[in-house]
Structure 1
Amino acid sequence: MSIKPLERRRVSPEESRAAALAAARDLLTREGAAAVTLQAVAARVGRTHANLLHHFGSAAGLQRALAEEIARTVSSSIESAIEQRRRGEGSERQVIDAMFEAFRREGAGELIGWVALTRQREALEPVIATIERIIRVMRAAGDVRPVDRMTLSLTLLAIGDSLAGEEIARACGLDRSAIREVAVAQIEGLAGAPLRD
């Protein structure tokens, strides 16, 4: 994805903020969480460091806004897969795959890891709210299984997979797809029954 600098014309605060978040997201997926700095984002969008401080308040504010955006995207992917399953158009395995893919595609695992390691845990609030919402959605649909424990297991595995799944699987002499098979087995163990199709 190519991020074009904003033209020098006056842009609305919303446009400026959206462009900065798009640049931050691109930096995250291409270069990693440590590359998401106010200076790097400002350079990508043709704005000043001071301009970004105006919109986000600090680097932590930028990271929180990025976490909110990623949490929305991840949540949307997972909730869409859950809804398809509910309508009989998808399987529970597809819900698991949607979670793993969303974390990997969006760079969510890396952002979560980096935020946690730099002790800016307040930036994790959007992710926490998303997880809580997914559990509420599943319970509201009448799911009597331990969806809290199932979600905990899946989320931690998806984070780990997006951070170093390929390398760890290779070190174990396994294909990366084995991680999802482990996830399925854990969910079935927690649920006390095979996954529903």
Structure 2
Amino acid sequence: MAKSEPAGDPPERVRRRKRLGDEAREEGLIAARRLLLDGGPAAVTLANVGREIGMSHANVLHHFGSAAGLQSALMGSMIRDLTAALDDAVAALSSDSAAPRALVNRVFDAFDQGGAGQLAAWIAMSRDFGHLEPIREAVRSLVVAFRDKFVDEDADARVRAAVLLIAVCAFGDAVIGPQLRDMLGQGDDELRTITAKLIPMFLISPF
């Protein structure tokens, strides 16, 4: 009879090999992000990450300290990527003549392809809103760039509302957009198009 594996140490998915600490952490975070996008927060476990990268449960535990440590490190990594995406959106807003759609595409891409939608849902469910603090300055920069591009300094409330609209629509589209679009027979870019068309209305009308 074949010897069973120890509890919590699932079958290897790839062959195990030795890694340096930084390399192991980076591979673990890449695998954890993939698991989050494919299976949601419940899939981000030490055992699943170990199986993805061919590392024992004990070794993954060594590099991240605990399941909570792994999840916190993943949140931090994804927050840094989201902040970079928002910084890119600020740069695009300053230079792109088709700024509303370019901005919408960049923010939607960050929430969808970059996984920020799943991340935001995870943070909301865990109530661990402290992880959102690093993006505060990026959001503030986006508001300033938006204001400087389209309207004067007195339109701050309208600009903040426009940024809120983009972010909430991007979040919703990333989390449940595909299912809703399928129910309604809408194309993949439908909400992006609607959002981009609404942005100028926020910026030229009294709020």
Q: Cα offset for 1:37?
A: 1.0
1:106 correspondence with 2:111 = no
139 and 96 in structure 1: CA distance in 2 versus 1, 3 angstrom threshold:
closer
Cα 1:150–1:134 change in 2 (3 A) is farther
SS in 2 for 1:106: coil
**Pair 1:152-2:203 in alignment:** no
Segment of structure 1 superposing worse, 18-27 or 57-66: 57-66
How much has 1:24 moved relative to structure 2? 0.8
Normalising by structure 1, report the TM-score.
0.78
Are residues 1:164 and 2:168 paired?
Answer: no
Q: Return the TM-score normalized by structure 2.
A: 0.75
Equivalent-residue separation in structure 2 for 1:49 and 1:164 (angstroms): 33
Q: Which of the two has higher C-alpha Rg? A: 2
Question: 2:196 aligned with 1:192, yes or no?
Answer: no
Number of matched residues? 185
> 1:129: which partner in 2?
134
- For 1:41, give the aligned amino acid: V
Q: CA deviation at 1:6?
A: 5.5
Deviation at 1:108, TM superposition (A): 1.9
Kindly state the Cα deviation for residue 33 of structure 1 after the two structures are TM-superposed. Answer: 3.1
Question: In angstroms, what is the RMSD of aligned CA positions?
Answer: 2.6
- Match of residue 17 from structure 2: 7
The residue identity in structure 1 corresponding to 2:116 is A
Unmatched tracts of structure 2, length 5 or more: 1-12
* 1:159 positional shift: 1.1
Q: Which residue of 2 aligns with 1:36?
A: 44
Residues 66 and 179 (structure 1 numbering): CA distance in 2 closer, same or farther, change over 3 Å? same
CA distance, structure 2, for counterparts of residue 109 and residue 103 of structure 1: 4
Quick one: distance in 2 between partners of 1:26 and 1:190? 36
C-alpha spacing 1:77/1:41, structure 2 compared with 1 (3 Å): same
The amino acid across from 1:167 in the alignment is Q
Q: Which runs of 5+ in 1 are unaligned?
A: none
Report the identity percentage. Answer: 31
